[in-house]
Structure 1
């Protein structure tokens, strides 16, 4: 039974909500709650306590979605099983590192943890302080073989049933330096990824220019051995000359456009739309040509979006170059610039040495001595039109996958760009006191695992009809915040209430897709 009881203290009456019951046949107070003075109760009834005295905003949507994916994959258990029983959970440390990398960028683990709602739903709750030092202390004894086992254990959870995988190489994976002024270590990464979604499964990190770096073809063959399944080699334009296309590994790659003028000159009417649902504005010509002395399948693509971007980029570059050349010409004509001819030629070459610009903008320096030198520049509109017609928006792909539809050839080649884009988002230029090979390997593994989880999330969103990049996906989810409202006390501890922010249509679909209701306050 509940009742209100007043207690008089120093001439004032204070009220309590009292619950009572019979215990062993006698009435006893079993619980009571302080309500305050009559003025406090009146203010509460009038809404005086309805306004919070403070609020706090926490990251929720992206953190909860990534954590739900980690839980579904059972990443913590998979890693702990791979490295064996230990006093601390290595899987727990890696899961938190992945969660932080996906949702916080360059923030420290400690600052990130304090600004998220993760403490409410991450289970088991970390038994250690969430700090960078704790992570590095926990993983300090992990050698190369254990790091590989960790990667393969997670890959088994993600890549089970993947019929075909791709081998890709990202030379500009990350940059590490020991101080702002120290020489940087450039690191590349080769990886086997899923054909659908470019989800990395196994990888190999290497110091660019370091001893023992093997060619991409050899690295791909070794990675294929770790996956024990068919792998298709994916290469970029600059890697074409380094590979033996007759080595036996299936391939999809890009060729230098300028080496095949006959294909570039084919009319637009020869191309056909690829798949408007998957590749809006993309057309392709599927044909054959002699490549490196062999008759091979080639696919010439044209992207309306890429065409517009390249034309816009050329216009901006030309604007900047002509402005600089006009300024230099005026300075020469008025005698304000009296530099030697050789210095001026070097400066002109620097101004025009921008991609495409040197093909349409020419500069002629006349005279021999300072004070007599004059500069004339000319824009070749016909050359600009040829660029627009023959080069802009185009890519030339070569493959021995004669049985693949054109759309599958294109998506396989684009896997490298999806991977590179995510790496650039997750990896900045890392400056820290010491970057040993082992420390770089651990750091790279966190990036690879984070990429695997976020690419899996992107693939799930795509299959649900949401065409989003990884960045767009995480941006949408990060817009779902959690607000903690703190109300004044009417006795005892201050009251708090947690609510989620309003959600747009896309955010609500992602909320439902990743089951975020289970993590909501």
Structure 2
């Protein structure tokens, strides 16, 4: 039986809740809890309790990534390959933390501990953030050899293909590069100067080759290579390594096609692919088959597929790099329109520069200027530099001549006949070729057009917000390869997360899904207790979710990571 009693202490009333029971037939107090003074009791009843602290941690995106990592068994997969004595966090846990960080808030290793403590990872992994220092990360990265990076790729690819039933019949290949701030005097070999796709030719860069599935754009294989290596050389090594390492994965599929762009073409590479289990679909530089471009539009056929509405094609067979291939020339009005916009813009810029040069030359005719007089040869060299933009050498005709050894006369004009010929033959057309002689033209075109999926992956890795390659703050080849591995893992987890959402009929851009998930926070509210010896009362709850967040939360089963 419970009751409320008043007890006087030094003439002041204090209240207690007691519970009585009969012990040996006599009533006895078996429990007594202090409530405080009357004013305290009234305040507790009538006023909401005041928390002593409120902590918010990122829940949604981290939990979503953990669902993918747990499904793959990522931590154990890494720990089975990389040997480490039983001390502290495992290498697999460090790689998981690095991959999650790349997905949600890419940062340096010196700041990753700070990011980590504001997520639910400490509660899930039970690793104190004080152990996530730069040195600890470097020590664990040092344990992964280049051979083990390849072994991890194989194990991860097998797991992904098995769990998600990835269709391997068509694989998309491409390569990109990432500039770095690694010093020129640094002895590592991967960063080299070369043609940088982000226009930073002044910096050392690292190449990254990637292969993804056509279905779902799921990354399966990667290779980090020297920044000054040509595309055909890397393609040759990549395919040879693919056959050597992943042959048992491909054994289940007897119809494999690799899609690549024209930058990887060479006679040697195509001969190697012909001897491999792969077929190929690739684009071709127009200079290789100019006669196909000369085919009149009357011989082109209309595309019937909705994705190719308004386009035309011409299909034939011809000798490419010494072997007969199926060749498809595709005419795309949208491509023509874009190319013409670029040409008109370049023409305007080029004519403006030529006009300024012409005015400077006329000054030598009308005034007695001091200094070295321009010559026809020097002006001709200037003009060649001005006409460096695409098609300008074809479209602009010019004459340069010395007049009485006093001044140089420059005359230029747009060659309208050459412009018409360019529009009728070259512009708006793409040439594709393949050894899939059994495929229809539109199937070849659609397969090649799916290259956009791998281009999306590269754009994603260059986005500083989500799934980013940068920042790269490592200075040795071994650590750069490990960095490439957990960046690849981050890209893979994001692609599998997108696939999970598609399987549940949720159509949402990945960036929006990431943004929505990252705003689902786990809040811990802590209330004080009357006695210091008692544990504070904690209430853990999630922030209020909108319709899209609830849909994502339920579809991905994130309740399993709630307290």
1:237 matches 2:262: yes
Which deviates the most, 178-187 or 59-68? Answer: 178-187
1:91 matches 2:92: yes
| Partner Cα distance (2:241, 2:61) in 1 | 35
> Of 177, 181, 187, which residue of structure 2 is paired with 1:173?
177
- What SS does the corresponding residue of 2:275 show, helix, strand or coil? coil
1:340 matches 2:374: yes
**Alpha carbons 2:212, 2:454 under 8 Å: kept:** no
Q: Scaled by the length of structure 2, what TM-score is found?
A: 0.71
**Alpha carbons 1:233, 1:251 under 8 Å: kept:** yes
Name the structure 1 match of 2:284: 255
**Residues 116 and 257 from structure 1, CA distance in 2 versus in 1: closer, same or farther, beyond 3 angstroms?**
farther
1:473 matches 2:510: yes
**Residues 499 and 435 from structure 1, CA distance in 2 versus in 1: closer, same or farther, beyond 3 angstroms?**
same
Name the structure 1 match of 2:300: 270
- Equivalent runs, 1:24-63 vs 2, <5 Å: 25-30=28-33, 44=47, 61-63=60-62
> Of 452, 476, 490, which residue of structure 2 is paired with 1:450?
490
Aligned length: 507
1:118-150 Cα deviation digits (max 9, x unpaired): 326862233453344322211212222322222
Name the structure 2 match of 1:409: 447
Name the structure 2 match of 1:78: 77
> Of 222, 225, 239, which residue of structure 1 is paired with 2:241?
222
> Of 350, 362, 373, which residue of structure 2 is paired with 1:321?
350
| Partner Cα distance (1:7, 1:120) in 2 | 49
Which deviates the most, 395-404 or 371-380? Answer: 371-380
**Alpha carbons 2:184, 2:204 under 8 Å: kept:** no
Between Structure 1 and Structure 2, whose CA radius of gyration is higher?
2
**Residues 485 and 168 from structure 1, CA distance in 2 versus in 1: closer, same or farther, beyond 3 angstroms?**
closer
1:132-190 Cα deviation digits (max 9, x unpaired): 43222112122223222222221121122445356666443334443389765443344
Structure 1 unaligned blocks of 5 or more: none
Q: Scaled by the length of structure 1, what TM-score is found?
A: 0.76
**Residues 386 and 53 from structure 1, CA distance in 2 versus in 1: closer, same or farther, beyond 3 angstroms?**
farther
- What SS does the corresponding residue of 1:159 show, helix, strand or coil? helix
1:164 matches 2:206: no
Deviation at 1:94, TM superposition (A): 0.9
Name the structure 2 match of 1:437: 477
Deviation at 1:43, TM superposition (A): 9.3
Deviation at 1:206, TM superposition (A): 2.5
| Partner Cα distance (1:464, 1:34) in 2 | 57
1:204 matches 2:223: yes
Name the structure 2 match of 1:143: 145
Which deviates the most, 416-425 or 92-101? Answer: 416-425
Deviation at 1:439, TM superposition (A): 1.6
**Residues 518 and 175 from structure 1, CA distance in 2 versus in 1: closer, same or farther, beyond 3 angstroms?**
same
Structure 2 unaligned blocks of 5 or more: 187-192, 194-202, 531-535
Deviation at 1:78, TM superposition (A): 1.6
| Partner Cα distance (1:12, 1:120) in 2 | 50
